Chain A
Amino acid sequence: MCTMYCPRPVVDTYNERLEITRAPHIDYAQAIPSSYYIDAKACLRVNFETCNLCAQTCTAGAIDFSQKPKNLELEVGAVVLTPGFGRVDESVLEKFGYGRYPDVLTAFEFERLTCASGPTEGHIVRPSDNRPPKKIAFLQCIGSRDETCGNGYCSSVCCMYAIKEASVAKEHEPDLDVSIFFMDVRTMGKGFDDARKRAQEKYGINVIRARVPRVDQVDGRLALTWTTDDGEHHSGIFDMVVLSVGLESPEDAEVISKVADIGLNRYNFCKTRVDSPLSTTREGVYVAGAFQGPKDIPESVTQASGVAAIASELLADARSSQTVSITYPEENKALEEQEPRIGIFVCHCGVNIAGVVDVKAVRDYAASLPGVVLYEDPLYSCSQDALKSIAEKIKENNLNRVVIAACSPRTHEPLFQETLRSVGLNPALVEMANIRDQCAWVHAQEPEAATEKAKDLVRMAAAKARLLSPLEQPTVDVTPGALVLGGGAAGMSAALSIADQGYNVTLIEKSRQLGGNLRRLTWTLDGENAKEVLEDMISRVEEHPGIEVITNSSVESISGYVGNFTSTIATGKKTRLVNHGVTVIATGAREYKPKSYAYGESPRIITQLELEEKLSRGRGFLKNARNIVMIQCVGSRGDDMSHCSRLCCTQAVKNALKLKELKPDANIYILYRDMRTYGFYEDAYREARKKGIIFLRYSPDEKPQVIKQARGIKVRTRDRLLGDDLEIPASLVVLSAGIEPGENQELSKILKAPLTSEGFFLEAHAKLRPVEIAVDGVYLCGLAHGPKSLEESVAQAKAAAAKATIPLAKGKVAVAPIVSRVDQDACIGCGICESLCPFNAIRLSKVGKRKKAQTITASCKGCGICASHCPTIAISMGGFTDEAIMAQIHAFSGRECGEE
């Protein structure tokens, strides 16, 4: 309403300035919080004390112009900086015709064009003539990997988002011709390489390896010229050009740096160290997300959890010192058991529902339903006043069932459940009918039919409400300890964080000493001494009173559920039991053992880690080295393993720079497919080229060959610029062997933790739950999750620690009231439910002589898979009993339950 009446048009910045909105508006329908706000810069009332139209039209009276900006002073123990990333300056984009030619768009603008709720409702059209384009070009690295604009780093995310946007565009318009211009295809995230391959194959997206220098407009179309790495010139005419702009440091980075007194790096991002990626240069001030360096959503979410762990370590003593707990009145069981006395509230939702559905008619209809003693039609049933009034009316009328005909239970059911609890009713006794989404919204053009449907829904809800029964909300005590599997960098970081937060940790390590793969590194990717990082970590773990380290051990079995795990730890032949509340998987991975390139046939053909080990023992072996050849993607990217191992490119560059430093006259060659030195690692790649390290690209169908001869080794590879084979006599061949998953199958079976097709552990959700697995109380970090750098492992370990301490800190695990329940008499112990449960929440146990299924309520998610598969219908779901659902169906067909 406010948006409708506002006379002040403003540019819609959410839709990338492609559309106009009004001063009071909401960015998009699903925005959180889902309320409108007023653009104070444009508002006539705020600036000129005129208008006030919106305040008058708002039926909820929610617009209050008397509010003034306030300065707050908060006393806090830690500060977390998450300002995100900034925009690449428009002057950089102008080089590519942006602003001059209307059909040159940024990828952000293109994203809005492809969005169904965007300015064009998802139709891809050229801004110049509103016609659909036939040929689109994506230009990568705009404002990234470009020293001329001061951004020497790689923005890490643009390759993948360009592929995503190109795929979406092809999905909309299958005949579109889409080309993406890359320098290197940097899709190094977990599962990203597969997604890219699928996109290329499924949609036929052209991948062109070239950097387009400029965009020229010809007769309303866009002309591009480029040179490929074989030296050939090409040109093409396109209808639309999308600039894949990079991630810049936030505009106010310097202000933040001054206010928070923290250091910035040379690109104005927050300065951090490899072994503490979430700490700024000032103690107590932490950072997460793109301000720490360009990164994608999963990594940002991971860092955010990680930073919560650090703040929680710092503030462990103050935990729960300022919390307020809510007390509820005793449940009125006597009232609940009486004949149903139903109260029905039919919500107007302002004009949202009442604009279409005849709310008063629905309310009056509700009065005719059996068992209904109260019927009302609040304007906004979710507003504070209305909730209070609902609570009072429940009391006054001794209601024991409530039906709310309003919006979605997904968003609002907890609110009404809370209201019931506040007056001593079990929260399971409320039922919702969604007459907003299912009537007013989808049938906006047919008000009469919508009203009839609303009556149907209310009748069904009331029928179900009569059969609702109170559900228990049991809580389970939590054993205040964690089991961490794996004593590498990730496992140790997670253990330290959990222990620093005040909980006991048992750290299990398979080998005889802590350290994992970090032990084999000599330098970290940014050149710090890996040994020092390792020794510091080990001494902190060993000295920590809260951590017990058990080496030479492995887990034989883990039973139980979140809050109450019992594990059998085997050390040699001895076994012992450990009780713990949560489990962290940090079992790591290992360097792939090459099967090609004559590995193992000569001491001069080694892997990168072997090179580092040699280097840490001294430089003697380099004495006669003239040519050193490194080969990338050994084992990775379809060689033997399908995934990209993410860090070998940076590792190779790092080691090449080290070799160059020790032996400046040696020629160093790196044979690669795509150099994936993402983020600030790009600096090292540039430095390597400046120092004369030679990079030669090979394609997977023309792999380099390592030829062992009587005297020495030769590497043959194709030089694309010369168009000819090159033979390099090599004194040393270093293979960048990828990262191979460990033997995860057994642990996967023990924990019911799923694995990816490559054999790494699979997280519950890549973006929303990146360090949890589907089974409650089990968390994941480090190389066990997928290839990643030390820095990323440490951040992820902190994140896993943060998630793992949630149940530990709560002390109790609240069980969702809607869980499966097994009727022991009807159960025949077939075990179908146990095998199907994705959460490990139902199991067979001996009851008397026979096996019977039992729900572990603490782990049950209430998905209902077990109930729907039970052959004897022995399993029912609380809140969704068969009787209640049948009653709903009967009510729909107009019959009452039992009237058949």
Chain B
Amino acid sequence: MSIYVDASSRVLVQGITGREGAFHTGHMVKSGTNVVAGVTPGKGGQALEGDLAGVPMFNTVRDAVKATGADVSCIFVPAKFAADAVLEAADAGIAVIVTITEGVPVHDMIRVTNSVRSRGITMIGPNCPGMITPGGAKVGIIPANICTPGPVGVVSRSGTLTYEVLHALTSRGIGQTTAVGIGGDPVQGTKFVDVLARFQADPATELIVMIGEIGGTDEEAAAAFVAANVTKPVVGFIAGQTAPPGKTMGHAGAIISGGKGTAAEKIRALQAAGIAVARHPDEIAEIVAGQLGR
């Protein structure tokens, strides 16, 4: 079992002919993901080459869904077109929309996240690495070779920090149900609490790893949710303990403002909810191994 995506997912890619889109879709195909369609306006009907050979191209998401039954979309379009791409996917009936694109204006995401969530559609991102269900489907850019199927659910605001943790888990022989990168922007389609609820409901997930960082209050909300609703063990980590206030640390959402959103506050909240918090990334896999009795 897994959450959001699995081997039955029919994935379409918006922006499949761009540099990033083509490169990462190639890796999605190679890792066994069922990529059923590509969408680039004006390139409908064109033949793709290399790893993407045989993936049919469409001008609109509506055409692609009609012809292929796609139910998951992965978006690589440039930031100024991202909001439009998400709404196009939502209107075409896509159930899970993953937006990899970085640098999307936050006002666009206020409009879009409210619109798609009100329709019960799952939107992951923007500014995220996407997600992977090892052995099932990879939707986004998380390297498949550092993952393996198993009992741990991973949710994170980060990209490469998540790869570190996946690599450490896999190296110890500890696999994952699904790893979800929810993204580093201030307004995200999916927050920690949404993913935690899914992992709690997923029978195959035995333990959850949650990787947060400075900025906002989503980790505190997640801690409260875990205390009230999650019976599975949770291992946490918060990046940015040494980050100065008032500075954006790479991710648009990673900023301590008005004294709020510090790592210390978040770590306190997680610990108060009974979550084991690792002091550094290498320790996450150690704690997980201990808790799983490996």
A binds B: no
